[in-house]
Structure 1
Amino acid sequence: MAKREVTDDSKPGRIAQVRAAYRITKEAQPRIGLLLAGIFLGVVAVFAGLGFLLGNPILWGLTGLPFGFLVTMIIFGRRVEKAAYSRLEGQLGAGANALSTLRKGWTVDPAVAVTRNQDVVHRVVGRPGIVLVGEGAHNRVGNLLANEKRKHARVAPDTPIYDVVVGDGKDQVPLRRLSKHVMKLPRNLRPAEVTELLHRLKALSANRQQLPIPKGPLPKNVKLPPGAPRPR
């Protein structure tokens, strides 16, 4: 009975999340409904057409229904992800929000450094070492990253330190690819070394200036039906 109650209670929440994701996506892509319906019907039509060739269109048409649903949900998940990141782009602290999609084993400290010009640096700690992620004007954020890199090098001199600038320019990483870029960095530390590194960084974290992070709709927080991709 308890298991049934948990399952029943989770259904309305999931349906509400899918509706919210659809509304968010529709704001940026007004024809998303027609697109999804067309994809679903198109996949079913392909199976039905194959069924006509094989002499059993009804069976093949019914077989195409779950495949049509699966393909539709995959496309929907990608559209939701794109719409969510497009709403975050340009907001102060959006990089920290995107980094929150990182899985277990990563520690994200938003806004370890902030300037009056609203340039900001976030810190990610994981198996690669320390990753400093900068947001702001290209001609200013580089200096801020360099300063933070020196501060962290004094605390953890033997730890690899990477720096990343969020943006669409040269040598920058787009917001939607930020988490994936960080996860692709080489694994240099063992889990025990990561834990020790976090203890070393507590002194720097204790005095950092806090920055309000925008609460944008991230794909990570949208629970889609089975088949929808998760952001990476």
Structure 2
Amino acid sequence: MSQLDPSSMSRRQQYLETYRLTRQSDPRIGLLLLGTFVVAAVVGFAIFWLLPGGGIFGWIISVVGALLLGALAVMIVFGRRAQRAAYARMEGQPGAAAAALTMLRRGWTTEPAIAFTKQQDVVHRVVGPPGIVLVGEGNANRLRPLLTDQRKKHERVLYEVPVQEVVVGAGEGQVPLPKLVRTVMKLDRKVKPAEITDILNRVKALDAQRGKIPLPKGPMPTSMKGMRGNLRGR
């Protein structure tokens, strides 16, 4: 996995790095994107050619429309394939859920590894419209008491704020890593935007009581935050 920091790259470097990493797990991505561009460009040309007009102006509009539609289709397909490849690389790694949670949009705040075990079972915290979301990854049996303990601590400080739990994994009642962000964003909105700032200030006080804790040992996946615009096709 690349050791480069995506947030320090230019937009062009981010696209190249995203393509390089995607190609490692999806070797045919180049042919797929080329085919997507050709098909979309042909469709775009036909659509614009059928519009009223003609002559040289009609040709220019049709060619420009074909190029724009082809580029748009490539960005959409590339974004989806790159995101799928990124999740595949992170799957099973300690901290993969924290890396995935960086894909959350503005209005969400993630604090990784607020609690963990020696076996690298980890609990992350997300503050957003649903309130507090505790995201656990690791062994379900070891996570249960860890999540319960964190829920109680947060409810003591934020007794009127909803605290919800999500466990990442492939087991029953768990959320697969690729669906984590979507699942969190679909949770019921129970907190007004104006209240989130107050919640963040109060969890800072809770974190101060907890003190500085060392992160679990082992490789941590590269954050997806710097590349999320590319992965969304923007």
Q: Shorter-normalised TM-score: what interval?
A: 0.7 to 0.9
In structure 2, how many angstroms separate the alpha carbons of the residues matched to 1:110 and 1:119? 12
Equivalence for 2:13: 16
Q: Contact (CA 8 Å) 2:102, 2:225: kept in 1 or not?
A: no
Do structure 1's residue 30 and structure 2's residue 34 form an aligned pair?
no
If the length of structure 2 is used for normalisation, what is the TM-score? 0.80
Equivalence for 2:227: 221
Q: Contact (CA 8 Å) 1:81, 1:218: kept in 2 or not?
A: no
Do structure 1's residue 147 and structure 2's residue 149 form an aligned pair?
yes
3-state DSSP of counterpart to 2:135: strand
If the length of structure 1 is used for normalisation, what is the TM-score? 0.80
3-state DSSP of counterpart to 1:201: helix
Gaps (5+ residues) in structure 1? Answer: 1-11
Equivalence for 2:138: 136
Q: How does 1:107-118 map to 2 (within 5 A)?
A: 107-118=109-120
RMSD: 2.9
Query: Structure 1, residues 102-146: CA drift from partner, whole Å, max 9, x if none?
Result: 222222111111111111100111221110000001222122212
Of 199, 202, 219 in structure 2, the residue corresponding to residue 200 of structure 1 is 202
Higher alpha-carbon deviation: 61-70 or 152-161 = 61-70
Q: How does 1:93-172 map to 2 (within 5 A)?
A: 93-172=95-174
Equivalence for 2:84: 82
In structure 2, how many angstroms separate the alpha carbons of the residues matched to 1:76 and 1:217? 19
| Amino acid in the other structure paired with 2:207 | S
| Amino acid in the other structure paired with 1:14 | R
Inter-CA distance 157–34: structure 2 relative to 1 (3 Å threshold): same
Gaps (5+ residues) in structure 2? Answer: 1-8
Query: Structure 1, residues 92-111: CA drift from partner, whole Å, max 9, x if none?
Result: 11111111222222221111
Inter-CA distance 113–96: structure 2 relative to 1 (3 Å threshold): same
In structure 2, how many angstroms separate the alpha carbons of the residues matched to 1:180 and 1:36? 26
1:48 CA drift (Å): 5.7
3-state DSSP of counterpart to 1:109: strand
Q: Contact (CA 8 Å) 1:87, 1:216: kept in 2 or not?
A: no
The alignment covers a number of residue pairs equal to 217
| Amino acid in the other structure paired with 2:186 | K
3-state DSSP of counterpart to 2:10: helix
